[in-house]
């Protein structure tokens, strides 16, 4: 994990999907201000570092969550109340914004 300011996040919810669900696969829901602090945008792939393992998941922005809290979907090895760290997949490359025409 890269060094720098990356405060921990707490798992406040877990969603397990079933076959046939419209939304399936690993995902993490977090507030937009928590995402901005980590350079993460909606839909980005992120590494989730938990107490037992680390996983890749898609980031989904949700401002209804409490600050510092996340909800994970289909991520084995995580349970509510656990503390995690989140890092954007391509953390070495700076976030680029397109120039207006």
53-99 pLDDT, tens digit per residue, is: 999 999 999 999 999 999 999 998 888 999 999 988 875 565 555 56
Question: 9-88: what CATH class?
Answer: mainly beta
For residue 1, the model assigns a pLDDT of: 44
Mean pLDDT score across all residues of the chain: 86
Mean pLDDT of 30-43: 93
Task: Inform me whether the pLDDT recorded for 3 exceeds 80.
Answer: no
Instruction: Express as a percent the part of the chain with pLDDT over 90.
Output: 57
Assign 88 to helix, strand or coil: strand
- In whole angstroms, give the CA distance from residue 40 to residue 33: 10
Cα 58–Cα 38–Cα 82 angle in degrees, nearest 5: 70
């Amino acid at each position: 994990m890269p060094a720098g300011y990356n405060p921990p996040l707490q798992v406040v919810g877990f969603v397990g999907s079933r076959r046939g669900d419209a939304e399936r696969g690993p995902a993490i829901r977090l507030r937009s201000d928590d995402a901005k602090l980590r350079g993460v945008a909606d839909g980005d792939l992120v590494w989730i570092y938990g107490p037992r393992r680390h996983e890749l998941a898609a980031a989904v922005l949700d401002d209804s969550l409490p600050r510092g809290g996340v909800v994970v979907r289909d991520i084995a090895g995580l349970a509510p109340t656990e503390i995690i760290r989140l890092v954007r997949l391509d953390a070495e490359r700076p976030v680029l914004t397109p120039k207006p025409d």
